[in-house]
Amino acid sequence: MAVMTTAAPKWGCFLVVVLFVVFNLTFMTDFTASLTSIEEDEDPKPRAWPVQFHSVLVMNYSGELQIIDLWYDWPNGRNFNIIRHQLGSRLFDLEWNNGTSFFYTLDGDGDGEYCRNAQLEVGILRPNWLDGAAYQGQRRVDGFLCNVWQKADFIWYYEDVLTKRPVHWRFYTGREAHVMTFEVGAVLEDSKWQAPSYCFESNKDDHTKINHALGRPKPVKTIKSGRVYIRHSHRS
């Protein structure tokens, strides 16, 4: 009797342990499956822009081509587009977070020294400007499989599924940007951000010359903090 009395509790404990393990495995399997299901049901989110980067863009607008050197510098509140038309001159589009923008040419490019400045209601794009964009599914563009988002009927943004790097931007005007390089953390030296002195001289504010370099400006939408504003831009 002493032997049987001792064995029964041992078997009982063993069964309790087995049931506990089975219960936990079942619970964890179901819980993991639920989380996976939730994750699969959630739309992908676009990656926020790095606070500083340099990108080379090839722009195509109805067959008209441009190359843009884009320097984005959020910590210092500035954005720089150096625009070169095909077989043409350069236009410098310097934007500050206080809404001030300078559009100018350089004499060394053969266009003379001309400048136009503007004061806009909004500054440069925030790194998280894509928050709230509507997911459009996946598309293949420029040889990359991309997730696509639409922001405020203004831009369709294509991001590489694997690397999360931007690949392609399509604007509501039909203008397209093909992202050729994307250098995270690249910073343009401070001296390059200074608008030339003639931008502050009234006799250099030649709208005709700048409009010729810009192309006839037309109103386009600009995103700031989730709202859409109208501004003038270069052939957008």
pLDDT given for residue 37 in this prediction: 47
Q: Which residue has the higher pLDDT, 233 or 52?
A: 52
Question: How far, in Å, CA of 48 to CA of 155, rounded?
Answer: 15
**110 pLDDT higher than 70:** no
pTM recorded for the entire structure = 0.73
Question: How far, in Å, CA of 199 to CA of 161, rounded?
Answer: 43
Handedness of CA 101, 103, 107, 108 (dihedral sign): positive
pLDDT digits (tens, 9 = 90+) for 51-75: 999 999 999 998 899 999 999 999 9
Query: pLDDT band at 28, cuts 50/70/90?
Result: low
Handedness of CA 153, 117, 207, 120 (dihedral sign): positive
Helices (H), 142-206: none
Q: Would you tell me which CATH number, out of the four given (2.50.20.30, 3.40.50.2020, 2.40.50.180, 3.40.1000.10), belongs to the domain 52-188+196-233?
A: 2.50.20.30
**111 pLDDT higher than 80:** no
pLDDT digits (tens, 9 = 90+) for 172-222: 999 999 999 999 999 999 999 999 999 988 655 555 555 555 554 444 444
Q: Which of 197, 193, 165 is nearest to 179 (CA)?
A: 165
**15 pLDDT higher than 90:** no
Handedness of CA 106, 109, 114, 119 (dihedral sign): negative
Question: How far, in Å, CA of 120 to CA of 110, rounded?
Answer: 29
Average pLDDT taken over every residue of the chain? 80
Cβ atoms of 149 and 45 closer than 8 Å: no
**DSSP 3-state assignment of 101?**
strand
Q: What percent of the chain has pLDDT over 70?
A: 67
